[in-house]
């Protein structure tokens, strides 16, 4: 009885401390990001990413076959505009800041892209290293709507578990604890990473080819594969095209001169000015 009382008191104190920590994190974050909305509740992902959040099509006047783009903020910026102008192709960009594989698969499976895209030749997924962490994360900091959640069923198939995030996953404390768990226990689980990455891309490819059977799927790795610890030969054997920016450009695109700043690792204008011509040459765009 005494032990139960001690455990109960300690659990209560721990919950109280976590609540205080959550409140402090909320105040700090809102002070630094006053314009961002913080909401707690059950939000269906489809209602969150209504097409109004997608970028408008670039180069709709061009007559060559279109390109579809997926990814995160690395692809959401000026990439599609520069790619369209340089390739003289329409570019439909369905990337979303802070997102990853789950979101791309959700968009394709639910056919949230423009139904009037005329015979696209390529889909390009811009992949950066943090997409691995995001497979296991609750959210990306600053975006507490979260990710649709997929897992493997007993048959080994990747299936959706739910397309909303429970309330407990939407707290700052959970975000930090989740990432601490990832850094200590999952970061170097390359076998698990490969299993998920292969499944996500194969399902994306399958969903898209139901509508566009001749489309070519390109994974553009921002950096090189050594930054991911992945074996992507399975995807290549199944017809996906794997390109690495470091390889096609001959420069280390992850070096500081191609980042916006020392603290902002996103590609700057110089990065895309090097990558896009090399990409166009590689794919004969």
Q: Which pLDDT belongs to residue 142?
A: 64
> Are 16 and 98 in a shared domain?
no
Same domain, 31 and 46: no
Mean pLDDT, contiguous 10-residue spans, the chain (285 residues): 82 89 85 71 76 85 95 92 96 92 94 90 95 85 75 91 78 87 91 94 95 96 80 94 94 89 88 96 95
Q: Is the dihedral of CA 20, 22, 27, 28 positive or negative?
A: positive
> According to the model, what pLDDT value does residue 100 have?
92
The confidence score (pLDDT) of residue 25 equals 84
Instruction: Give the number of domains in the chain.
Output: 2
Q: Give Cα 20 to chain centroid, integer Å.
A: 31
Nearest alpha carbon to residue 123 among 214, 57, 58: 214
- Could you tell me if 21 and 70 lie in one domain? no
Task: Find the Cα–Cα–Cα–Cα dihedral 76, 199, 106, 265, rounded to 10°.
Answer: -20
Whether residues 143 and 188 share a domain: the answer is: yes
Residues 75 and 69: their CA atoms lie apart, in Å, by: 7
- Please work out, in degrees rounded to the nearest 5, the angle formed at the alpha carbon of residue 190 by the alpha carbons of 188 and 191: 135
Report the alpha-carbon distance of residue 61 to residue 164 in Å, rounded: 37
Please report, for the domain that includes residue 194, its CATH number.
3.40.50.1110
Which residues are bridge partners to 140 per DSSP? 143
Regarding whether 168 and 76 lie in a shared domain, the answer is: yes
Range of the domain at 49: 42-283
pTM of the model: 0.91
Q: Do 12 and 104 belong together in one domain?
A: no
């Amino acid at each position: 009885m005494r032990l139960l009382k001690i455990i109960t008191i300690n659990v209560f104190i721990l919950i109280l401390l976590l609540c205080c920590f959550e409140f402090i994190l909320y105040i700090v974050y809102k002070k630094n990001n006053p314009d961002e909305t913080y909401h707690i509740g059950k939000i269906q992902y489809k209602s969150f990413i209504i097409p109004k959040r997608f970028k408008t099509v670039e180069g709709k006047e061009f007559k060559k076959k279109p390109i579809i783009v997926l990814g995160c903020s690395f692809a959401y910026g000026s990439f599609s505009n520069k790619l369209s102008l340089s390739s003289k192709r329409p570019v439909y960009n369905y990337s979303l800041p802070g997102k990853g594989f789950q979101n791309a698969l959700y968009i394709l499976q639910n056919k949230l892209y423009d139904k009037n895209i005329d015979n696209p030749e390529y889909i390009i997924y811009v992949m950066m290293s943090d997409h691995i962490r995001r497979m296991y994360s609750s959210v990306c900091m600053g975006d507490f709507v979260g990710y649709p959640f997929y897992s493997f069923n007993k048959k080994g198939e990747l299936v959706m578990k739910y397309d909303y995030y429970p309330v407990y996953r939407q707290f700052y404390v959970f975000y930090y604890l989740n990432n601490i768990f990832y850094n200590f226990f999952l970061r170097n689980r390359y076998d698990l990473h490969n299993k998920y990455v292969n499944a996500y891309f194969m399902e994306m490819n399958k969903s898209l080819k139901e509508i566009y059977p001749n489309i070519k799927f390109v994974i553009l790795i921002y950096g090189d594969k050594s930054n991911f610890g992945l074996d992507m030969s399975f995807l290549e054997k199944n017809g996906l095209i794997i390109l690495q920016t470091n390889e096609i450009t001959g420069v280390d695109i992850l070096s500081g001169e191609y980042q916006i700043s020392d603290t902002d690792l996103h590609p700057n204008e110089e990065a895309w000015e090097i990558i896009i011509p090399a990409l166009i040459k590689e794919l004969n765009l």
